[in-house]
């Protein structure tokens, strides 16, 4: 564990990915953190200033693991974190229910931060969409559109799914309606059905729009990340947050309350 005068040592899972490279670039100018190591099964980049391993076997010590990898790679990071009692931030998206259960189980042994998106602006979008969903009646149709760069591996985005889940919960609480979601479906919507649309192309960092479509009016709540630095800022905040917490699974709500 670190002290007030010791840098927080981060282990990056998915080290050669775009997000982990952005984190490493930021940490160079941040005296609070240092990158202890990276784990990635891809070849090591030539400009890397820290060791990268193909697995968690024989990695050096760290204070917290930051995971921006793939759902299958998250599992190895979780197993390592539990075995070595190291907190972990899981910001990878696309986990199935069994993988989410693995994350929940890890939270019984270590502090785990699990969020599909660590941008504070995106979290505000989710909250505003929930408020609007609870306020507006069922004459408003709801659609979610998410846009990302061409090489994003999962669709719809984890953030879009989280927004939809939050809206469904708000609708159930406010009016008892059972809302469901449908992805990439062009046919006419059933009653209380939210459509989610995924757009992939170019170098778009990330954009999410929630549309409430009523008779003769439309309400749009949107957030667009123009640079990955917004995610880096949230990830580093969450990593430091974990070092102060007992075992459990935490999210953006907990970070903002803290």
| Domain locations in the chain as residue ranges | 8-114+228-257, 120-225
Question: pTM of the entire structure?
Answer: 0.85
For the record, the structure tokens of 37 come out as 């190591």
Distance CA 253, CA 12 (A): 23
The band of 3, judged by pLDDT with boundaries at 50, 70 and 90, is: very low
**Confidence class for position 222, pLDDT limits 50, 70, 90:** very high
Catalytic position from the list 148, 197, 208, 228: 148
What pLDDT was estimated at residue 45? 58
Average pLDDT, integer, range 114-124: 94
In the predicted model, is pLDDT for residue 43 greater than 80? no
Q: Would you say residue 36 has pLDDT above 50?
A: yes
148 is catalytic: yes
CATH class assigned to 8-114+228-257: alpha beta
> Of 42, 102, 149, 152, which one is the catalytic site residue?
152
Q: Is the pLDDT of residue 46 over 60?
A: no
Residues whose CB is less than 8 angstroms from the CB of residue 120 and which lie 6 or more positions away in sequence, other chains included: 230, 233, 234, 252, 256
pLDDT per residue as tens digits for the range 153-205: 889 998 999 999 999 999 999 988 899 999 987 788 889 999 999 999 999 99
Superfamily for the 120-225 domain: Dihydrodipicolinate Reductase; domain 2 (3.30.360.10)
The larger pLDDT score, comparing residue 241 to residue 47, is at 241
208 is catalytic: no
Lowest mean pLDDT among 68-72, 150-154, 235-239, 243-247: 150-154
């Amino acid at each position: 564990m670190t002290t007030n005068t010791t840098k927080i040592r981060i282990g990056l899972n998915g080290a050669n990915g775009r997000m982990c490279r952005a984190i490493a670039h930021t940490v160079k100018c941040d005296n609070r953190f240092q990158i202890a190591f990276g784990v990635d099964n891809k070849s090591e980049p030539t400009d890397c200033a820290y060791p990268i391993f193909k697995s968690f076997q024989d990695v050096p010590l760290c204070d917290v693991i930051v995971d921006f990898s793939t759902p299958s790679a998250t599992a190895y990071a979780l197993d390592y974190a539990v075995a070595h009692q190291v907190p972990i931030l899981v910001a990878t998206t696309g986990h199935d229910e069994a993988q989410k259960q693995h994350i929940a189980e890890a939270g019984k042994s270590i502090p785990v931060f699990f969020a599909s998106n660590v941008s504070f602006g995106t979290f505000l979008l989710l909250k505003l969409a929930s408020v609007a969903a609870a306020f507006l009646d069922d004459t408003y149709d709801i659609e979610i559109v998410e846009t990302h760069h061409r090489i994003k591996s999962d669709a719809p985005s984890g953030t879009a799914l989280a927004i939809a889940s939050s809206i469904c919960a708000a609708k159930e609480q406010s009016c008892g309606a059972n809302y469901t979601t449908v992805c990439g479906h062009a046919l006419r919507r059933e009653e209380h059905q939210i459509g989610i649309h995924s757009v992939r192309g170019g170098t778009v960092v990330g954009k999410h729009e929630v549309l409430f479509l009523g008779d003769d009016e439309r309400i749009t709540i949107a957030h667009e990340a123009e640079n990955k630095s917004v995610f880096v800022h949230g990830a580093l905040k969450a990593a430091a947050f974990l070092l102060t917490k007992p075992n459990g699974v935490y999210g953006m709500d907990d970070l903002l309350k803290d």
